[in-house]
């Protein structure tokens, strides 16, 4: 297929573009930042440019991963978030319909599921970790989450009104920037990311794989929305213990982890405040991450963790 990939210069785009081509697709990258993966430099907020790119390249499918993200809140005002994340998504959806594009994949975020209460965790008095599914109520805590939720709703609306097959992927963390939360492991970003694979992270390679599969399955699914994250080893019955004593719960799931962590000087989070449940993606999309916490432990045992966590 001839695929328009927005956000082609970003962390996901630089992995997804080559993966699409390896799968036999012709890729046109669109991004505000020049890069080897970007054929057209410009913004999705520019309706005329979106129309031109879709037409000039006879685009058959769109993967829309371009966005202003949470770290951009410090550099851009709220209007910029609305322009890019909401208006930009609407531009792509409506021009896709007008030009007969056959399928659309939208990169969303699990961040929009986290309100201030969930984020506060044990420090805020939480007695149990939140078990989050696609049906969990959402109350985004910042302009990033609000605009991504609005974009999801536009995807749903355009599918309902025009029949455009759309798959929304709420991806958990896969970007390389350091964590901004209180439970980050200060001495080791690698340690933090390994811990997060238990409940709120996936590798960028797995994120790319999910998008490829969503692109393939979109016509059969019509409209659907999935959480995409490494499978947690926990069950809902662990929720209270995860808040109270996360290392003990992890040790019950992985008895060998304390020794492997000790060798490297790593530690586990004292408390885990949420668990993203990707089981619906496994059941309906047929997608399961290849890399999770178990693979981190295997790498630690083989002394190859640096090779694994380079993509986290």
pLDDT above 70 (res 228): yes
pLDDT above 90 (res 85): yes
- Tens digits of per-residue pLDDT, 90-103? 999 999 999 999 99
Percent of the chain with pLDDT over 90: 88
- Tens digits of per-residue pLDDT, 157-196? 999 999 999 999 999 999 887 655 555 555 578 999 999 9
Residue with tokens 């009104």: 161
As assigned by CATH, the class of the 2-309 domain is: alpha beta
Percent of the chain with pLDDT over 70: 94
Residues 6 or more apart whose Cβ sits within 8 Å of residue 259: none
pLDDT above 60 (res 149): yes
- Tens digits of per-residue pLDDT, 238-272? 999 999 999 999 999 999 999 999 999 999 999 99
Question: Tell me, what's the pLDDT at 30?
Answer: 98
For the chain, what is the mean pLDDT? 94
Region 186-209 average pLDDT: 92
Question: Tell me, what's the pLDDT at 305?
Answer: 56
Question: Tell me, what's the pLDDT at 309?
Answer: 55
Question: Tell me, what's the pLDDT at 120?
Answer: 87
The per-residue DSSP string of the chain comes to -EEEEETTTSHHHHHHHHHHHHTT-EEEEEESS--TT-SEES-TT-HHHHHHHHHHTT--EEEE-----GGGGGTS-HHHHIIIIIIHHHHHHHHHHHTT--EEEEEEEGGGG--HHHHHGGGGT-SS-EEE-TTS----SSHHHHHHHHHHHHHHHHHHHH---EEEEEE-B-S-SPP-STTS-TT-HHHHHHHHTTTTB--HHHHHHHHHHHHHHHHHHSEEEEEE-PPPS--GGGHHHHHH-HHHHHHHH-TTHHHHHHHHT----S---EEE--HHIIIII----S--HHHHHHHHHTT-HHHHHTT-
pLDDT above 70 (res 296): yes
């Amino acid at each position: 297929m001839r695929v328009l990939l927005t956000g082609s210069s970003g962390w996901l785009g630089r992995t997804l573009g080559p993966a699409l081509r390896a799968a036999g697709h012709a890729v046109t990258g669109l991004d505000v930042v020049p890069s080897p993966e970007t054929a057209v430099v410009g913004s999705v907020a520019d309706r005329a440019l979106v129309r031109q790119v879709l037409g000039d390249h006879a685009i058959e499918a769109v993967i829309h991963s371009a966005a202003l993200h949470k770290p951009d809140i410090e550099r851009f005002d709220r209007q910029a978030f609305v322009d890019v994340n909401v208006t930009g998504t609407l531009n792509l959806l409506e021009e896709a319909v007008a030009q007969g594009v056959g399928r659309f994949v939208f990169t969303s975020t699990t961040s929009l599921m986290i309100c201030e209460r969930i984020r506060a965790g044990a420090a805020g008095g939480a007695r149990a970790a939140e078990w989050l599914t696609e049906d969990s109520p959402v109350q985004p805590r910042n302009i990033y989450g609000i605009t991504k939720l609005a974009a999801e709703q536009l995807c749903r609306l355009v599918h309902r009104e025009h029949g455009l097959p759309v798959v929304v992927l709420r991806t958990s963390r896969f970007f390389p920037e350091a964590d901004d939360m209180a439970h980050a492991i200060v001495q080791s970003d690698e340690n933090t990311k390994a811990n997060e694979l238990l409940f709120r992270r996936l590798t960028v390679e797995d994120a790319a794989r999910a998008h490829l599969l969503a692109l393939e399955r979109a016509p059969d699914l019509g409209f659907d929305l999935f959480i995409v994250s490494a499978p947690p080893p926990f069950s809902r019955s662990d929720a209270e213990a995860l808040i109270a004593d996360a290392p003990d719960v992890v040790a019950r799931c992985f008895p060998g982890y304390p020794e492997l962590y000790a060798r490297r000087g790593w530690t586990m989070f004292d408390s885990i405040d949420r668990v993203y449940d990707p089981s619906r993606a496994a059941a309906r999309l047929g997608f399961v991450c290849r890399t999770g916490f178990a693979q981190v432990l295997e790498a630690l045992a083989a002394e190859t963790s640096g090779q694994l966590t380079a993509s986290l």
